[in-house]
Structure 1
Amino acid sequence: MALHVRHPIWLRQVRPAGARTFASLYTMESFARAMVASVIPIQAYEILQSEQAVSVLYTLVSLLGLSATLFMPVLIRRFARRWVYTAGALFLALGSLFFIVDTLAGQALGMLFRVVGSSALSITLNLYIMDHIRKTEFIRTESLRMAWSTFAWTGGPTLGILLYTHYGIYAAHGAVAVLVFILLAMFWYYRLSDNEMIVAGKNRALNPVSSIGRFIAQPRLRLAWLIAFGRSCYWTTFFVYGPLFMVIAGEGELAGGLLVSAGNILLFTAIFWGKAGKRYGARQVIGFAFAAMGLILFAAGWVSTTAPLITGAFLLCGAFFTIALDTLGSIVFMRSVRSYERSQMAAVYRTYLDFAELAPPLVYSIILVFFGVGSVFVTLGLLMVVCAVVSWRYVPRSM
C-alpha cells in the first residue's frame, strides 16, 4: 500500500532562491549591523575617554576577527552552512547583549561577537549565492543586493543614534535583537540548501595556512582580493577621514554626517552599474571606476582645506564610482573560485575587509606626520591607480 505524505502547503509555495531572495536577506542583515554602526564608536569613546584607546581597541578586535574569519571553513564543514549562518546571526544578537553591560569588557566582547557574526553571515551568504545563482546572473544579483541595502545603510545609523540618544542603550541594541530574529525567520523560511560539492570535498586540507597558500597560488583569486581591498580602502577612508576632514576644515560635525549619509544614499546607483556591467563588461567598468577614483582623489588632495565643500563633493563622486566596484568587484571572485574549495577560498577572500580596516589608518598615521590631511586622499589615489592598471591588464575580457 503506497504511503502518501502531505507536506504543509506553505512549504510548497516557497519559490526557488533567486536574486530577490539574497537581496532581502542582505538588506535585513544590513539593517541589523547598520542600526548600531554609529552607536558603537560613541559608546567606546564614552567608556575609554580617549581616541587613541578606541583605535587600539578596534585594531585588537580586527586582528581577532581576522583569525576567526580564516577558521570559518572548518566550522562550515563541521556544522553545515545553515547552522553557521544561524550562529552568525545569533552572534550579532549576543554582541548587543554584551554592549548593554556598558563596561570595557562588555564593549570588547560585543565588538568581537559582532565582527565574527558579520564574517559568518558574509561568507555563508556568498556561498549560497554561488550555489543558487547562475554565473550569467551574478551581475544582476549583486546590483540588486547593493541597491536594496541603500535603505539599511541610509536610515539604519540615524535611527540607531536617535534610539540611543532619546531612549537609551537598551533601545538601540534591543532593536538589533529584533532585526536578527526577523532575519533568522526569513532565512529558515527560504530553506536554502547546501552544495553537495562542498561535502564531497571534505577530504581536502582545512588548515587555514594551507587555504592561504592555495588562494595566493591562483592569480585570479589574488586579483579578486586586490579589487575588493582597493574599494574597501576607499570606504574606510570615506567613513573615517571624510567626517574628520570636515571638522578639521571648519565645516563642523554636521557637514561630516551629511557627507556620510549622502555617500550611503548613492548605493541605489548599483542598479545603474549593474546595467553598465552587462553592456560593457565587468572588466571595462572596474578598470574605468578605479581610474576615475584615482583622478578624483588627486583632485580632492589638491583642493583639500582651501575649499572643503568642493573636496567633499569630490569624495562623493569617488563614492559613486566605488559603488561600481561594490556591484561588480565580487564577480571576479565568484566566477574564478573552484566549486569544491569555495568555503576555504571565500574565508581567505573575506580578509580583504579586515586588512582594509587595518592598513589605511596605519599608513595615514605615518603620512600625516609629514603632510596635511589632503595627503590622505593623494595616498589613496595612488592605490586606486595601481588597482586600475592591474584590473585593465588582468581581468579577463569575458567578464
Structure 2
Amino acid sequence: MSVVSAPTASRPPTVQDFARIGGLEALCRGCTLSVFPLVMYRAWGSAQLVSQIYFAIGLVSLLTALTVPALTRRFARRRIYLFATALYVVAALAGMVGGLWVNAALLCAVMAAAMSFVCFNAYVLDHIDKADFSKLETLRLFYGGTGWVVGPALGVWLLSVWSGAPFVLLACAATAMGVLICRTPLGEGKFKATAPVLVGGAPRRAHPLAIVRRFFAQPRMVTGWLIPAIRSCAWWLYFVYVGIFAVENGLGEQVGGVASSIANMGLFLAPVMLRWMRSRSVRTAIRAGCLGGSVCFFVATLAAPWPWMTVAALIAGTVFLVLLDTSAGLPFLMSVKPSERTEMSAVYSSFRDVSGIISPGVAWLVLQFFPIAGVFALGGVALLCAWWVAGHIHHELGTPAPLRSRRRRGLS
C-alpha cells in the first residue's frame, strides 16, 4: 500500500503549524475537562455510576480509534479529521440541551478526541522528522497551555453562569480548529490500494485485530505504549475525581476546575523540562516522572482526612505528570516504521481510550470498598508500575549524539 498525498502544497506543514492545531484542540478538551465530571455527577448523583458510564464510553472510544485506519482507505484523512471537529460541535449542541443529553455530549467529545488524535499523529509522522519530535511535543504543550490552564477554571465558572455556556466555547474552539486544518497544507493522507504487502504470505489488511497483532510482535512498541497509557490513567483519575472529591468533602464545585487549571500551568515548564531531559535521557526523565508522581498520589491518599492537603499533594504530583507528557510518548514514536504510520498511530492513540476504560472500571471496583481517596492510591500504584516498565527502555534513547560521545569517552 502506498500513501497518496494531496497535490504538492506551496510549503510543507511546520512544527509550528502542528503546535497551533494541537493548541486549539487543547482548548476544545480543556474547556469541558472539569465540566463533564460535574454535570455527570449532577445528572446521576453517584461517583460509582459516573465511573460505569465513563467505562462504557471508553469502550466506544477505543473501537473508534482502531477503525480509523480502515476509514482512511475509503475517505481522505483530512475529511476524517474535519469530521472529528464536527463531532466536537455535535457534542457542544448536546451539552447545551443538558440533562441526560450530557451522556451523548461526552460520547461525541470522546469519539472526536480519539479520531483527532489518530489523524494528528499520522500527519506528524508524515511531515515531521524524528529529530524534531521532542521539539514538537514541547511546543504543542506550550501552545496548548492556555487552553489547558484557562479552560478548566473558565469552563466551571461558565457552568455556574449557565449550564450550556461551556459548550458554546467548545463549539467556537472546534470551529476554529476546523478552519485551521483546512488552511494548513497537511495533504489528504488517503491510502490507495495497490499491490498488497505480503506478511508471512498473506496480504496485510487494515483490520483492527491485524494491526494489534503486528503491534504486539514489536516489544519496543509495547513498552512505549504502556507508559503513556499509565500516565493517561493517572491524569484521568486526577481530572475526574478531584472535582468529585472536593464536592463530597464540602470544598465546592469550583475547586475541581481551579485544581485542573493549576495543574495544567505545568505545561509552561515544558521547555525547561525538555532541556533537562536532553541533558540526560528519555529513560531518566520518564522514570523520574513516574516515581515522583507515584509518591505524590500516595501522600494524597494518606492526607484524605485533610481535604486541602490531598488536593495540594495531587497538584504537586501533576508536575511529574507534565514531565511524562513531555517524554513518555517518545519511545513509541521513535520506533514506528514508515510503512505503518497510520496503523500504528491508531494503536498509539488507543492508550487514551484504554485508560478511559481501565481507569473508571478499576475505580468503580475500588469505590465499592474504599472512599473516593482510594482511587488516588490506585494512581500511585499505576505510576509505580510505569516506573518499573520504563527500566526496560534503552538508556541512550533520545540522548543527543554529542552527549553520547562524551559519555562513552568518559567510560573508556
> What amino acid does structure 2 have at the position aligned with 1:324?
L
Residue matched to 2:401: none
Taking a change above 3 Å as real, the CA distance of residues 261 and 202 of structure 1, as seen in their structure-2 partners, is farther
* Structure 2 residue matching 1:79: 3-state secondary structure: coil
Asked if residue 182 in structure 1 is aligned to residue 181 in structure 2, the reply is no
Q: CA deviation at 1:254?
A: 4.1
> What amino acid does structure 2 have at the position aligned with 1:322?
L
Residue matched to 1:272: 272
> What amino acid does structure 1 have at the position aligned with 2:183?
Y
Residue matched to 2:405: none
Q: Measure the CA separation in 2 of the matches of 1:353 and 1:388.
A: 19
* Residues 147 and 268, structure 1, Cα contact 8 Å, conserved in 2: yes
> Which of 141, 157, 163 lines up with 2:136 in the alignment?
141
RMSD across aligned C-alpha pairs, in angstroms?
Answer: 2.8
Q: CA deviation at 1:368?
A: 4.3
> Which of 46, 58, 79 lines up with 2:75 in the alignment?
79
* Structure 2 residue matching 1:336: 3-state secondary structure: coil
> What amino acid does structure 2 have at the position aligned with 1:206?
A
> Which of 34, 37, 40 lines up with 2:33 in the alignment?
37
Q: Measure the CA separation in 1 of the matches of 2:246 and 2:36.
A: 21
Q: How do residues 16-31 of structure 1 correspond to structure 2 at under 5 angstroms?
A: 16-31=12-27
Residue matched to 2:167: 173
Higher share in helix: 1
Q: CA deviation at 1:42?
A: 4.0
Q: Measure the CA separation in 1 of the matches of 2:375 and 2:295.
A: 14
Q: CA deviation at 1:60?
A: 2.1
TM-score relative to the length of structure 2: 0.84
* Residues 286 and 329, structure 1, Cα contact 8 Å, conserved in 2: yes
How many residue pairs match? The answer is: 386
Q: CA deviation at 1:306?
A: 4.3
* Structure 2 residue matching 1:232: 3-state secondary structure: helix
Asked if residue 282 in structure 1 is aligned to residue 266 in structure 2, the reply is no
* Residues 197 and 339, structure 1, Cα contact 8 Å, conserved in 2: no
* Residues 78 and 188, structure 2, Cα contact 8 Å, conserved in 1: yes
Taking a change above 3 Å as real, the CA distance of residues 159 and 12 of structure 1, as seen in their structure-2 partners, is farther
Q: CA deviation at 1:210?
A: 1.0
Q: Measure the CA separation in 2 of the matches of 1:193 and 1:87.
A: 16
* Structure 1 residue matching 2:175: 3-state secondary structure: helix
Residue matched to 2:120: 125
* Residues 283 and 395, structure 2, Cα contact 8 Å, conserved in 1: yes
Taking a change above 3 Å as real, the CA distance of residues 40 and 292 of structure 1, as seen in their structure-2 partners, is closer
Partner deviation per Cα, 1:145-190 (whole Å, 9 max, x = no partner):
1122110012123333444443552x44333332222212211211
> Is 347-356 or 42-51 further displaced after alignment?
42-51
TM-score relative to the length of structure 1: 0.86
Give me the identity figure in percent: 29
Q: Measure the CA separation in 2 of the matches of 1:200 and 1:255.
A: 55
Name structure 1 gaps, 5 residues minimum.
1-10
Q: How do residues 136-285 of structure 1 correspond to structure 2 at under 5 angstroms?
A: 136-167=131-162, 169=164, 171-194=165-188, 204-248=204-248, 251-285=251-285
Residue matched to 2:407: none
Q: Measure the CA separation in 1 of the matches of 2:258 and 2:12.
A: 40
Q: CA deviation at 1:21?
A: 0.9
Partner deviation per Cα, 1:326-379 (whole Å, 9 max, x = no partner):
111111111111111121122122221122122233323333444455543333
Q: Measure the CA separation in 2 of the matches of 1:284 and 1:133.
A: 25
Name structure 2 gaps, 5 residues minimum.
1-6, 198-203, 399-412
Instruction: Tell which has more relative contact order, 1 or 2 (C-alpha 8 A, sep 6+).
Output: 2
Taking a change above 3 Å as real, the CA distance of residues 47 and 367 of structure 1, as seen in their structure-2 partners, is closer
Taking a change above 3 Å as real, the CA distance of residues 261 and 178 of structure 1, as seen in their structure-2 partners, is closer
* Residues 77 and 202, structure 1, Cα contact 8 Å, conserved in 2: no
Asked if residue 351 in structure 1 is aligned to residue 350 in structure 2, the reply is yes
Q: CA deviation at 1:221?
A: 1.2
Taking a change above 3 Å as real, the CA distance of residues 35 and 309 of structure 1, as seen in their structure-2 partners, is closer
